Amino acid sequence: MAIPILPGLSLAESELEVSYILASGPGGQNVNKVATAAQLRFDAARSPSLPERVRVRLLEVAGSRATRDGVIVITARRFRTQQRNREDAVARLADLIREAAHRPAFRVATRPGRAARQRRLDGKAHRAGIKRGRSVRHDD
């Protein structure tokens, strides 16, 4: 079964490796006995589902969650059941991939025009005059 990320981009379930570990947090005595936290591993460097541009950006966006080998590790322990933690980990991976697939808007650096510079200086002079008028004058 495929996990939809964006239109035209989805991940195969077989690319995800989920294991369960002991979790801290709420759960009472059960937390010490049952492995409910989900640890998801996704080999982004070798994934056939991702375009090259998204793959490179994903490893940048993942930061410390990515290993040197290009494997992204996400640990989900927010919920008390394995199933909810697994769904949470998959959703977080999908959000990470969506963020990596987003192209930032290209910005052309521009400089302010002469009139804008003059307005700025006029505003500064006006403000300086206001502040100068607040000062206490000592006549000698």
Domain range for residue 48?
2-101
Residue 16 lies in a domain: yes
Residue 85 lies in a domain: yes
Number of structural domains in the chain: 1
Return the percent helix, strand and coil in the chain, to nearest 5.
Answer: 45, 20, 35
Domain membership flag for residue 60: yes
CA 48/CA 62 separation, integer angstroms: 18
pLDDT of residue 62: 85
Q: What is the pLDDT of residue 45?
A: 83
Model pLDDT, residue 8: 81
> Is residue 29, in this structure, part of any structural domain at all?
yes
Domain harbouring 53, CATH code:
3.30.160.20
Q: Is residue 138 part of a domain?
A: no
- Can you give the pLDDT at residue 26? 62
Whether 24 is in a domain gets the answer: yes
Domain for residue 89, yes or no? yes
pLDDT of residue 101: 86
- The segments of the chain whose pLDDT lies below 50 read none
Q: Is residue 107 part of a domain?
A: no
